[in-house]
């Protein structure tokens, strides 16, 4: 399963906009950490130097294209082997994909 997003990237050069993006990104990515890193905890001069190396951009999405292929064209024994291999990975994403594969043969892909 995959979604391709299409659009023309646009460079963001406004320092305040870049800082706001970095703060949002940091808060989201550090949310699960025992001791989350914050931009406020870093020396301002160091942070300003690092920020000069960041090319911030956004991509307004003009088109989305989805693909749904979960081995539903394969033999039952092949699908079961893939599902078992995914379950052996013991990860939440692998388990979710295995569940979708198990259901794929009885359902049509989402529209």
**Which one is predicted more confidently, 109 or 91?**
91
Model pTM score:
0.57
**Which one is predicted more confidently, 111 or 47?**
47
SS3 111: coil
Express each pLDDT in 54-88 by its tens digit.
999 999 999 999 988 888 788 888 989 999 999 99
pLDDT value at 105 more than 60 = yes
Position 111 scores a pLDDT of 52
pLDDT value at 11 more than 90 = yes
Position 85 scores a pLDDT of 94
pLDDT value at 108 more than 60 = no
- Write the DSSP string, 17-66: HHHHHHHHHHHHHHTTSSS---GGGS-HHHHHHHHTT--EEE----EEEE
What is the distance between the alpha carbons of residues 100 and 55, in angstroms, rounded to a whole number? 37
Half-sphere exposure of 54 (CA within 13 A, CB side): 17
């Amino acid at each position: 399963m995959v979604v391709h997003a299409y659009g023309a990237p646009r460079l963001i050069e406004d320092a305040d906009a870049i800082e706001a993006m970095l703060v949002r990104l940091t808060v989201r990515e550090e949310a699960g950490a025992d001791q989350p890193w914050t931009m406020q905890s870093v020396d301002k001069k160091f942070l300003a130097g690092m920020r000069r190396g960041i090319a911030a951009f956004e991509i307004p999405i003009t088109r989305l294209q989805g693909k749904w292929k979960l081995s539903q064209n394969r033999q039952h024994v092949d699908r079961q082997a893939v599902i078992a291999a995914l379950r052996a990975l013991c990860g939440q994403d692998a388990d979710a994909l295995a569940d979708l594969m198990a259901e794929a043969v009885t359902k049509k892909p989402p529209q």
